Structure 1
Amino acid sequence: MTPEILSGLVAFAFVSSATPGPNNLMLMASGANYGFARSIPHMAGISLGFSLMIVLVGVGLVQVFVAYPVTHTVLKIVSILYLGYLAWKIATAAPLRRNEGKGRPMTFAQAAAFQWVNPKAWAMALTAISVYSPDQSLRAIAVVAVIFAVVNFPSVTLWTVLGQQMARFLTNPQRLRAFNWTMALLLLASLYPVIWPA
């Protein structure tokens, strides 16, 4: 991988990881509702789960979509339904004081598994492999996965901290409810390019 391609990959990883999407919106909601420490497994699950996804897509999983196009449609429907469910869970999350004893953020395994139904994650993985690892050698795929893991973790940390800081303003149950509904609607809005592609 040339230095030019590597720098392009780092820039792509940063921009795609830092911009709003299902992962970042859910982390912001998690930080606001559960705090930073309880959201760490969620954060780690995203970073490591997405890196694993890149490796598996790069070594040939993408060929399943080529051979069986219906799997892409099935994935799209499952993704939309699951993100709708998560939006509902965010919108109806209990106030922070009640969540301390009752609710819990996503676990590491749940966050890692979520990458497989996250439309933005699929778009990022397919683009990263096709543009920055066109020969799809194992070494190039590994570099793409490692770059994303390194660049992604500070990004997810920032979104979680942003949510945690917003919790200071969200001490009133009405404000927290409004915040949660806003995050849920933004999560649903992130499906726009999936449902109505350009």
Structure 2
Amino acid sequence: MSFDPLYAFVIAGLFSPGPNVILLTTSGARFGFRRTLPHVLGVAFGVGITSALTGYGIGALLLAQPALTFTLKCLAAAWILWMAWKLFRSTRGPRAQGRDRPFTFVEAVLFQWVNPKIWAIAMAASSGYAIGLPPAQEALRLGTAFSGINLFVCLFWTFAGSLLAVLMTRPLWWRGFMSVMALALAASAVMVFL
């Protein structure tokens, strides 16, 4: 049995910084590893669904409908900018205060539907690494590859964030970290349109 090059592509695509990586690292730092686990599981599940849909040809439909694609890009950019603003305003301290909380499982799943990085990677994978299976089998192949690999990617970044919280004992360092993460998230909103 040979190694499927799809896996290497998915690892490289999902491990690199993007909205999920930024949000999970920040959530791990703010709320801790355990409290961020529903967010982690929601991302892995949502990424699996999104990538499976591209195996059914949804990605091609989006590319064929420029108005729909532009609308989804605007929604994605607005949501990402809103999250970046919330993140920027949360520089009060390393631990969550008041009504702050990590993403729920459902919120994390729903975010994948407007996450431009996931759609781009999934569409590239479905067009560049398809192996000629019927659509249902191709969707299952993509969904399980993305979901399984992304689970480990999400666990890594969440754990890294929880370790960063231990290192950032000074309020100035914490504010700097949160500001950089908020700016990186805002920059990913601009990338939606490129």
C-alpha deviation, 1:23, in angstroms? 0.2
Amino acid at match of 2:149: V
1:22-73 deviation line (CA, Å, top 9, x unaligned): 1001101001100000000111111111101112232232343245320000
1:22-171 equivalent positions in 2, closer than 5 A: 22-93=19-90, 94-97=92-95, 99=96, 102-133=99-130, 135=132, 137-171=135-169
Q: Would you say the 8 A contact 2:46–2:109 is kept in 1?
A: yes
Aligned partner of residue 173 in structure 2, secondary structure: helix
C-alpha deviation, 1:169, in angstroms? 2.1
Q: Would you say the 8 A contact 1:92–1:177 is kept in 2?
A: no
TM-score by length of 2: 0.90
Structure 2 Cα separation of the partners of residues 193 and 102 of structure 1: 30
Aligned partner of residue 103 in structure 2, secondary structure: coil
Structure 2 Cα separation of the partners of residues 162 and 70 of structure 1: 39
Q: Which moved more, 1:132-141 or 1:118-127?
A: 132-141
Structure 1 Cα separation of the partners of residues 48 and 182 of structure 2: 26
Q: Would you say the 8 A contact 2:54–2:139 is kept in 1?
A: no
Structure 1 residues 109 and 88, CA gap change in structure 2 (3 angstroms): same
Q: Would you say the 8 A contact 2:55–2:142 is kept in 1?
A: no
Question: What percent of counterpart residues are identical?
Answer: 34
TM-score by length of 1: 0.89
Structure 2 Cα separation of the partners of residues 143 and 105 of structure 1: 30
1:137-184 deviation line (CA, Å, top 9, x unaligned): 211221121111221111111111111000012233332221111001
Structure 2 Cα separation of the partners of residues 108 and 182 of structure 1: 25
1:60-91 deviation line (CA, Å, top 9, x unaligned): 32343245320000011111111100101111
Aligned partner of residue 58 in structure 2, secondary structure: helix
Aligned partner of residue 57 in structure 2, secondary structure: helix
Q: Would you say the 8 A contact 2:56–2:138 is kept in 1?
A: no
Aligned partner of residue 190 in structure 1, secondary structure: helix
Amino acid at match of 1:175: W
